[in-house]
Amino acid sequence: MVNWQYLIEEMYDHASDDAEPMAKYQRNQFPFLGIKSQTRRDIFKPYLKETKAEAKLRFMENPNQAIIDWAFVDEFWSFPEREFQYIVCDYLKEMKKYLQPDDLPRLKTLIVQKSWWDSVDALVKTIGYLVHKNPDLKSEMAAWSSSDNIWLKRTSMIHQLGMQGQTDTILLAETCENCLHTDEFFINKGMGWILRDYAKTNQTWVENFLKNHESDLSNLTWREATKYFYLEKNQI
């Protein structure tokens, strides 16, 4: 078994004077230890290697058993310093193939607790992988898009980032439509991001979506969505 206490101690041992500027960059939403991304990954690497090896053996023994160490996830998410949440995001990204459909509520908890763009955006592709692998979960993404929580709304749209030709355009349209009529920066920015990303695969679809919802879209969403092609707002 991986001794996570050693990792905790090693993290604190690497605390540095970078803590203050790192916290300032995230608008002082959370305290930091001052561990830069590459250093954090280097510290975590041997622990990740060990836990992946253990997970592989357990999966071979019984592929139906739960593999994800949610006790570790919950413990590290509870730490005040932001780097511990980054460790969790890295862990789940590397272990995503072991996620099961009933893990989605746990991932939802991570989205709504200690929420900020850094942790949310670090989790969306892991959630996207799980939803794509288990299409029945698409209804949950639609439900998230109707939530009052801005981070669930953002996730409901951008979990399809990078899906290219496998993008579910019906779901994409529904989640974006449910996120219209808001001045919330992170929602409008996220919508522009996913539309811009999908435009690389199907620009015509994105152009039609923009035209059909022109009066409902924020200028920020429009600007982000059309970053790599020209379509003037208010021209129709």
pLDDT tens readout for residues 184-195: 999 999 999 999
Same domain, 176 and 81: no
Q: Which domain holds residue 65?
A: 1-98
Same domain, 94 and 139: no
- Per-residue pLDDT for 236 more than 60? no
50-94 pLDDT, tens digit each: 999 999 999 999 999 999 999 999 999 999 999 999 999 999 999
24-43 pLDDT, tens digit each: 999 999 999 999 999 999 99
Residue by residue, DSSP assigns 79-111 as: SSSHHHHHHHHHHHHHTGGG--GGGHHHHHHHH
Whether residue 107 lies inside any domain: the answer is: no
- Per-residue pLDDT for 4 more than 50? yes
Confidence class for position 235, pLDDT limits 50, 70, 90: low
CA nearest 198: which of 224, 179, 220? Answer: 224
How far the first Cα of the chain sits from its last, in Å, is 62
Q: Which CATH number fits the domain that encloses residue 215?
A: 1.25.10.90
Same domain, 148 and 228: yes
Residue-level pLDDT at 116: 98
Whether residue 58 lies inside any domain: the answer is: yes
Tokens 């002082």 sit on residue? 28
Q: Quick one: CA dihedral 218, 220, 225, 229, positive or negative?
A: positive
**Among 48, 76, 98, residue at a domain's last position:** 98
Mean pLDDT of 152-178: 98
Confidence class for position 143, pLDDT limits 50, 70, 90: very high
Same domain, 145 and 230: yes
How many other C-beta atoms can be found within 10 angstroms of the C-beta atom of residue 225?
25
Same domain, 139 and 92: no
Residues in Cβ contact with 155 at an 8 Å cutoff, skipping those fewer than 6 apart = 111, 120, 123, 124, 127, 141, 144
Q: At what angle do helices 117-133 and 104-112 cross, to 10 degrees?
A: 160
How far is Cα 179 from Cα 143, in angstroms, rounded to an integer?
Answer: 11
121-140 pLDDT, tens digit each: 999 999 999 999 999 999 99
Whether residue 104 lies inside any domain: the answer is: no
How far is Cα 94 from Cα 104, in angstroms, rounded to an integer?
Answer: 16
Six token digits for residue 187: 């929602």
Six token digits for residue 227: 């970053």
Residue-level pLDDT at 234: 77
State percent of the chain over pLDDT 90: 97
**Among 47, 77, 98, residue at a domain's last position:** 98
